[in-house]
Structure 1
Amino acid sequence: MKDIMLADTPVEQRAQILRDSCDQIVERSYTRKFDQEEINERRADLANVAIQKADLEQSLAEIRADYKGKIKPLEERIVKLRDELKAGGDWIKGDCFKFVDEEEKMVGFYSPEGYLLEQRPMTQDERQRNVFRAIRADKTGTDD
């Protein structure tokens, strides 16, 4: 079979001649070949659409970066609040008060509000008395 039927006949007349001389007319889908002018038009259209798409993607990236910058501090705040809620309070640094209980041989650390923060056994160095423990341990003198 030939690649092009009626190649010497003008394109406008081919369809009628083919219709008149065929065995059967069948409706089918097929790819119509472009001529060079149509190919050039499609390429120019493709270039324009690709440029428009690139511009929009760049705008989207800038908007996304802007929103990402606004969202990041909120995410950090969420993590901090979640950790504080999980711990039941916030983490601070400040003066705490250490008390040594010689009878129980324990050391306790208290917050300025008076809450026990930590309790542990005494170390060897803490077994030696200092002036404040001596005052707390001694009787007031009225108990004699």
Structure 2
Amino acid sequence: MDKFLGQDIPEKERWQFLKDNADAVERIGYTHRFNPDELAQKKESLAEVSITINDIEIEKKEAMEEFKERLKPLNEEKQELLEHIKKGSEFVDNEECAKILYHEEKMAGFYNRLGELVYSRPIMPQEMQKTVFSINRKTGTES
């Protein structure tokens, strides 16, 4: 069995020669060995594809960083909202509140701008002394 047939016939006519001399023509699968030129072409194609992939990966990374930056404040707000929903409240920091001393109860109450009692504690010793203002005060709870 020869390794090559029809090598003396031009390549364009070789397939017709092989078909004419064959017992049958069948479709089969086989492994094709590359010659040096074909192998060099495959390597060049690989280099081009690799460069394109690298460019796309860089573009993808930049786009992902942009999306990440856009999502960051939204995710922070989401976490804060989830925490508020979970607790049913939020901590308000450094807001001015009105302190009202209740001498008869020996308590100090702190009210926010809406008039809601937000914090209460026992009166401290330095707060025990009544002032002219506290004697005449009407808190709206007395009649």
1:71 is paired with a residue whose SS is helix
Cα offset for 1:131? 2.8
Q: Is the 1:109–1:116 Cα contact (8 Å) retained in structure 2?
A: yes
Q: Which residue of 2 aligns with 1:46?
A: 46
Cα offset for 1:33? 1.7
Q: Is the 1:102–1:127 Cα contact (8 Å) retained in structure 2?
A: no
State the alpha-carbon separation in 1 of the partners of residues 135 and 108 from structure 2: 15
Q: Which residue of 2 aligns with 1:142?
A: none
Q: Which residue of 2 aligns with 1:73?
A: 73
Identity %: 25
State the alpha-carbon separation in 1 of the partners of residues 132 and 32 from structure 2: 102
Cα offset for 1:55? 1.1
Cα offset for 1:51? 0.8
Q: Which stretches in structure 2 are left out of the alignment for 5+ residues?
A: 8-13, 137-143
Q: 1:81 to 1:127 in 2, by over 3 A?
A: same
1:79-94 matches, within 5 Å, as 79-83=79-83, 87-88=88-89, 91-94=92-95
**Superposition TM-score, scaled by structure 1 size:** 0.61
Q: Which stretches in structure 1 are left out of the alignment for 5+ residues?
A: 138-144
Is 1:63 paired with 2:60?
A: no
State the alpha-carbon separation in 1 of the partners of residues 132 and 117 from structure 2: 18
Cα offset for 1:134? 9.3
State the alpha-carbon separation in 1 of the partners of residues 132 and 84 from structure 2: 36
State the alpha-carbon separation in 2 of the partners of residues 40 and 95 from structure 1: 78
Cα offset for 1:19? 4.2
Is 1:129 paired with 2:128?
A: yes
1:131 is paired with a residue whose SS is coil
Q: Is the 1:110–1:116 Cα contact (8 Å) retained in structure 2?
A: yes
Cα offset for 1:128? 6.5
1:56 is paired with a residue whose SS is helix
Q: Is the 1:96–1:109 Cα contact (8 Å) retained in structure 2?
A: yes
- Aligned CA RMSD, in angstroms, stands at 4.0
State the alpha-carbon separation in 2 of the partners of residues 73 and 93 from structure 1: 23
**Superposition TM-score, scaled by structure 2 size:** 0.61
2:32 is paired with a residue whose SS is coil
What code does the residue aligned with 1:116 have? Answer: L
State the alpha-carbon separation in 1 of the partners of residues 73 and 128 from structure 2: 50
